[in-house]
Amino acid sequence: MSFLKRLFGGGSTATTQADGKPVGEAVEHKGFLIQPTPFSEDGQYQTCAMISKEIDGTRREHRLVRADRFPSAELAAEQAVRKGRQVIDEQGEAIFG
């Protein structure tokens, strides 16, 4: 039903965070920066973060999006940092490949 609402102009669509701005401070983890950027989706905030690292003088970025939703941008941002650390621990620089 949600798909049909969006198709015919009803319901909300994902927007970049609450105004396209990061929520909270970027967190450093093992040489990577995790910047939480949760976005509004159907009245809640979805877990999202930008993971970046400078490699050989070039800044590399990976957008991390998870299905988890929270009632506030701050809670979604906290989860984004936790998930970002987990992805970095598991994959390291391979997330850019």
91: domain CATH number? 3.30.160
Query: Does any domain span residue 52?
Result: yes
Quick: pLDDT tens for 46-93.
999 999 999 999 999 999 999 999 999 999 999 999 999 999 999 999
pLDDT of residue 16: 41
Q: How far apart are CA 62 and CA 78, in angstroms?
A: 18
pLDDT at residue 14 tops 80:
no
Range of the domain at 47: 13-96
Helix and strand numbers (H, E) in the chain are 2, 5
Query: Does any domain span residue 65?
Result: yes
